Chains A and B, each alone.
Chain A
Amino acid sequence: MTADASAQHDMFSMPEQRSLWQDALEQLMRNRLAIFGVFVAFLLVFVSIFGPWLSPYDYTQQNLFRINEGPSADHWLGTDGLGRDMLTRILHGARTAFLVGLIVTIGTTVLGVVLGAAGAFLGGWVDALVMRLADITMAFPDILLAAFISVVFREKVLEFQLHLQEQYGWTISEGNRVYLDYLVIFGSLTLVQWYGKARLVRGQILSLREKEFIEAERALGASNWTIILSHLVPNSLGPLIVSITVGFGGAMLSEASLSFLGVGIQPPGASWGEMISDNLGQWRFNPHLVVMPGVVLAIVVLGFNFLGDGLNDALNPEQRRR
């Protein structure tokens, strides 16, 4: 599939036989900050899968005799105001962050690619509609809109679940309503963050369509699907991968922000943002309770930004900054 595209690169611009992807990988490996990002991403995946087995405590387990403790041998990062182990909660927060990042990224990418491609290919009123929708979403202060949607839909989803329970006896979960917060966050962040990718995909397709090599391909009698699969997709993949990486970090950050404001993951669910706001009152007396989730959040967001930057330099050679 990429054979045609890379063959062209080889013939015209690359004296050694290297494809765009090989070149990109080499570029990426040379960028130390991007390597740090790759490391952070792998660590996040590992912790979010195996986190609960790494610590002997449960993330909701309270011990009111040992509240607000500093780091010690049996609580490596101390305990919070309810005596819950901080390390365990931070590990669980990684699971929250990763899940939100993953699902919101899948949601926005699917929505963005479908809407952006539909706008670019169909044109006319479809394109106008997609672009107006993007304009309107862009006009909102995004965190406030996501917060508003979360508050409104949390109640609706809860009602719907209770309805299912009464009518059909379906119980999704007893007592713990963290799953509800997840659903609401996935939905509200996808609704607020789709437009960047839609605009990107649309712009890519529209500009690529005018390029000479596509015109040549068409003159040679290639079908629409050949052009799409062998030229449009591989050529717009680079910017899309960068946007997905940056969007992944952005979605995790937005989740932390919403939870910090009190409209995201609700206690006892574990989220880094919720942990910061929960312990904010303690900053004078137990600063580590605020700093630890904050530092973890900062490292992960930074990792994804560095990785996105590195990928941008590697995959979009025409925009290389240095």
Chain B
Amino acid sequence: MFLYALRRVAVLAPTVIIVMLITFTLGYYGPIDPVRAVLGEEWEDEVRYAEVKKALGLDRPFVIQFLDYMGTMFGGNWGQSLSAFGGVASDRAVSEGRGAGFTGTSTGVREMVLGRLAISAQLSFWALVFLTVFAILLGVLAAVKQNTTIDYAIVTSSIIASSIPAYVIGPVLLIIFVLKIPVFKTVGGWDGMFSRQAILPAIVLATGPMLVIVRQTRAGIVEVLGKDFVRTARAKGMPERLVVARHMLRTAMIPVLTSLGLVTSGLLTGSLFVEQIFNIPGIGKLAIQTLMSGDHPVFMGVVLFQALIIVTVNLLTDLLYGGLDPRVTYD
């Protein structure tokens, strides 16, 4: 187990470096010239062009640039947004509500990514709350009413909720809860975690992993339904509600808890559609904005950071699974 963990961690670094190499190469050969993104119309002025190119360090060979990039990433200072170099990139950044002028007024990639991540994380937190409350309840209900209409209805509706993408559910909920039944008046934007604006986006975000949690909970409970310890609990006169809550849920929750890790990384890396629909300045929105405007240092920072989340959560889930379930052995 320990050796296995060590080997997995050892593979981590090369994986991250290759991820870095791929994003860097894509950015290097990408269609948007960073110098032109900074200079805008002025780019035809050769002197200014050379000046900015040198300031951005783009006059050096590919290998040197990549090594330098690796250095800044591993050094913990993730470089600067193109908007830091002024000019058009900066104007565009301000008009898009990011970069200089936006909360924190920082143009450092790390500050931008972490600042936006905070918003996505708050959104994901509410989505997780909805999931643990509703999806687990529905899963338990489906298991207890196994093979009845209620069971089929719950499983089928979770398949429906999880299959439909956020950019379809989002607008439909907007139309229902803003136009038809005006529950919400202001929609879009972000006004902190405890504002009413956070409710709809969090619900939409929670529909994605709904099916996984419902199915896992249902399967976990079904597995222990006929077990001896459940019968014992019933035999001592324990109310059915408590049997489910104290005995069944506790054993059924192990796979659910481990999958919640994967769900969290899925929420954090998959919130971009919800953020796009509800105009929330989270990490996904930052990625799309910077991809479109050619602010590659920031975009690459986001991709790399999300890759780190994915890799780490995958590793932790595998290890946790082995730790919680003694039947799982690693060679």
Contact = CB atoms under 8 A, between A and B. Distances in A.
* A, B co-complexed: yes
B29 A287 contact: no
B199 interface: no
29 contacts: A132-B15, A135-B15, A136-B15, A138-B314, A139-B19, A139-B307, A139-B311, A141-B269, A144-B272, A144-B291, A147-B291, A148-B303, A151-B31, A152-B29, A256-B165, A257-B165, A260-B167, A261-B272, A262-B292, A276-B167, A277-B167, A280-B171, A280-B277, A283-B171, A284-B179, A290-B171, A294-B171, A302-B160, A305-B159
B163 interface: yes
Given A295-B168, A301-B165, A302-B164, A261 B288 contact: yes
Name B's interface SS. helix
Contacts of A145: 303
Contacts of B273: 257, 260
A149 to B, nearest CB: 7
A152 B291 CA distance: 10
B65 interface: no
Interface of B: 11, 15-16, 18-19, 22-23, 26, 29-31, 147, 156, 159-160, 163-165, 167-168, 171-172, 174-175, 178-179, 219, 269-270, 272-273, 276-277, 287-288, 291-292, 299, 302-303, 306-307, 310-311, 314
A314 B24 CA distance: 45
Contacts of A139: 15-16, 19, 307, 310-311
Interface in A126-155: 132, 135-136, 138-141, 143-145, 147-149, 151-152, 154-155
Contacts, number: 117
A19 to B, nearest CB: 28
Nearest to A277: B167
A301 B179 CA distance: 27
A161 B175 CA distance: 43
Contacts of A321: 219
Contacts of A141: 269-270, 303, 306-307, 310
Given A139-B311, A302-B160, A322-B147, 18 more contacts: A135-B11, A139-B19, A139-B307, A140-B303, A141-B303, A141-B310, A144-B269, A144-B302, A149-B26, A151-B31, A152-B26, A155-B30, A155-B31, A257-B167, A284-B179, A287-B179, A291-B172, A298-B168
B29 A156 contact: yes
Nearest to A285: B179
Interface of A: 33, 132, 135-136, 138-141, 143-145, 147-149, 151-152, 154-156, 253, 256-257, 260-263, 273, 276-277, 280, 283-284, 287, 290-291, 294-295, 297-298, 301-302, 305-306, 309, 321-322
Contacts of B287: 144
A301 B156 contact: no
A302 B172 CA distance: 16
Contact of A154 (B16, B31, B175, B270): B31
A301 B163 CA distance: 7
B287 to A, nearest CB: 6
A231 to B, nearest CB: 25
Given A136-B18, A294-B171, A302-B164, A151 B291 contact: yes
Contacts of B165: 253, 256-257, 297-298, 301
